[in-house]
Structures are given as structure tokens and as C-alpha cells.
């Protein structure tokens, strides 16, 4: 059982790492980009990144960055509550499926609202993992190893993340 649990822990670590890479990607300037600009002489340059591709105002760009957190904060207590009546491992699977579909949806987004809704769903999907992985480790790890087994996933948490 212990070897199987260690494999599951490795999978949790990889999922956690991918979640944080995705979370940081939207916030990065390279992906986020900038608005297009026009000079007084009439020459215009197109914007870069998401802000340029979707022609987002600074306000819309801020909303897009915050949309993830809305999904995460709304869905986390719902998943935690559902874990009392539904198998938490299944809930993690459902959440990661939502996360996967939402990330694919982000790649096919065509305007501000489509990418904003997809980013909210990314937050919903991540909420299942964030709120249920640690309690799942507590409930299923060998009793003598619980504290030690929380260390690898926690070591992958960034110290300063602006989701």
C-alpha cells in the first residue's frame, strides 16, 4: 500500500506544479502582453500577448487575472462540503476534468467573455484539488507518515503567487 501511495503523492505533486504554472502564466507579462498604441502622427502598433490579441483594456485585463480567483474561492467550500458525501478522490477527478476542459477552452477563446468564463472554470477545477488533496493525504496515508507526506506537495507551493 505504501508504494502505491507514494506514486499517488508523486502524481499530486505533478498536478500541483502544473496548476501553479498555469496560474502564473496568465499573470506573467510575457503572456499577458500590452495594449496597442497609436502615436499622434497616426502610426499604430498592435498590442502583444493576451491584452493585445483580445484588445483588452487595463480594466478587462485586471478582471481576467481575477476571474480565476473567483472560481477558486466560490468552488473551494462547495468541494469541501461535497467531500462529506462523495468520494474525495472522485471529486478531485471531476475537478481536474473541469480544469482540463477549461484550459482547452481558454486556448480556443475568441473574446474577453469567453476567456474570462474559462479562467473562472479553471479556478473551479483547481479548487477541487486544492481543497481536497491535503485531507485525502490525511485520511489515506499510513499514520506514521502523514506529516512527512505533506512535505513534497507543500514544497512546490510558490512563496509569492498572484494567480
Residue 20 belongs to some domain of the structure:
no
Q: Partners of 158 in the beta sheet?
A: none
> Which three-class secondary structure state does DSSP give residue 108?
coil
pTM for this entry = 0.76
- Tell whether 134 is covered by a domain: yes
Residue at 29 is within a domain: no
Q: Is residue 102 part of a domain?
A: yes
Span 75-95, pLDDT tens digits: 999 999 998 899 888 999 999
- The answer to whether residues 118 and 71 touch, using CB atoms and an 8 Å cutoff, is no
Q: What is the pLDDT of residues 37-56, one digit of tens each?
A: 788 888 887 777 888 888 88
Residue 21 covered by a domain: no
CA nearest to 123, candidates 82, 76, 55: 76
pLDDT of residue 30: 56
Is residue 36 a part of any domain in this protein?
A: no
Residue 122 sits in which domain range?
54-145
pLDDT digits (tens, 9 = 90+) for 87-135: 888 999 999 999 999 999 988 999 999 999 999 999 999 899 888 887 7
**Residue 30 forms part of a structural domain:** no
CA–CA separation, 23 and 103 (whole Å): 11
Query: How many structural domains are present in the chain?
Result: 1
Amino acid at each position: 500500500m505504501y508504494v502505491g501511495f507514494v506514486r499517488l503523492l508523486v502524481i499530486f505533486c505533478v498536478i500541483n506544479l502544473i496548476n501553479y504554472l498555469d496560474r502564473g502564466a496568465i499573470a506573467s507579462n510575457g503572456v499577458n502582453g500590452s495594449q496597442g498604441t497609436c502615436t499622434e502622427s497616426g502610426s499604430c502598433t498592435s498590442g502583444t500577448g493576451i491584452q493585445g490579441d483580445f484588445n483588452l483594456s487595463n480594466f478587462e485585463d485586471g478582471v481576467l487575472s481575477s476571474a480565476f480567483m473567483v472560481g477558486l474561492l466560490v468552488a473551494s467550500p462547495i468541494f469541501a462540503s461535497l467531500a462529506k458525501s462523495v468520494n474525495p478522490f472522485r471529486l478531485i477527478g471531476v475537478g481536474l476534468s473541469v480544469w482540463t476542459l477549461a484550459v482547452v477552452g481558454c486556448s480556443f477563446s475568441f473574446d474577453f467573455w469567453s476567456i474570462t468564463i474559462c479562467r473562472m472554470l479553471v479556478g473551479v477545477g483547481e479548487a477541487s484539488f486544492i481543497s481536497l488533496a491535503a485531507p485525502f493525504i490525511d485520511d489515506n496515508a499510513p499514520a506514521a507518515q502523514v506529516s512527512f507526506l505533506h512535505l513534497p506537495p507543500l514544497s512546490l507551493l510558490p512563496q509569492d503567487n498572484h494567480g
